[in-house]
Amino acid sequence: MHRRLSEPKLVVASHNAGKIREIAALLAHLSTQVVSAGDMGLPEPEETGLTFAANAHLKASMAASASGLPALADDSGLAVAALDGAPGIYSARWAGLDKDFALAMRKVEQALVEQKATTPDQRTAKFVCALCLAWPDGHSETFEGDVEGTLVWPSRGEKGFGYDPVFLPHGCSETFGEMKPEEKHAMSHRARAFALLSAACLVAD
């Protein structure tokens, strides 16, 4: 049996403004008050896990323990087939200390060029998201979702965040960087993971 979230307040265990906006939008149908780890002054833990799920659990459990409230954490990234799944769990680190994702996207493109991956079928990738909902007593629930597509260059669009401007979902003519937020939320890796989480643990108003 999954545990249902019944508490009136939930911590989003992230300091990434883009992720916080998306998660808050996905939680908008709940009466639960959503606060971010940054707003509560909670530290950003070092992500030492070897999988998306492990890192999501690490962040959620630490935020729940520190705040005394249930906490929801996301760990997500871009996995490129021609790069053996890189940057994967290190997606944010490719952006450097300044979180410069324009730099990160250039690094991915350079790596693809070095692999001579120039055609769409050689540039397949997927966004992966693991969501973990943790409680202060140590209980946690983890759910994963992904969305597949190809990488384009140069980047297209200024919406979204991270690698969104180079990711073209299969069957779409717009990158995540070009899509309206509601269009992205209907199909993104985060939305798919959240749908599983919502069905198992969240009760709508």
**73: which strand partners?**
132
Residue 4 forms part of a structural domain:
no
75 is catalytic: yes
pLDDT in tens, the chain (205 residues): 899 999 999 999 988 888 888 888 888 878 888 899 989 999 888 889 999 999 999 999 999 999 999 999 999 999 999 999 999 999 999 999 899 999 999 999 999 999 999 999 999 999 999 999 999 999 999 999 999 999 999 999 999 899 999 999 999 999 999 999 889 989 999 999 999 999 999 865 5
Q: Please give the DSSP secondary-structure letter assigned to residue 82.
A: G
Rounded alpha-carbon distances, angstroms, from residue 192 to 3, 26, 95, 109, 132: 19, 11, 25, 27, 13
CA proximity to 47, closest of 28, 67, 69, 62: 62
Residue 2 forms part of a structural domain:
no
Domain containing residue 89: 9-201
Q: In this structure, what CATH number is given to the domain that contains residue 122?
A: 3.90.950.10
Confidence (pLDDT) at 16: 81
With b for 16 or more beta-carbon neighbours within 10 A and e for fewer, the 41-80 pattern comes to ebeebebebeebbbbbbbbbbbbbbbbebbbbbbbbbbbb
**pTM for the structure as a whole:** 0.90
The residue assigned the tokens 């659990």 is 57
| Catalytic one of 75, 137, 146, 164 | 75
Confidence (pLDDT) at 202: 85
CA proximity to 184, closest of 202, 195, 169: 169
Residue 27 forms part of a structural domain:
yes
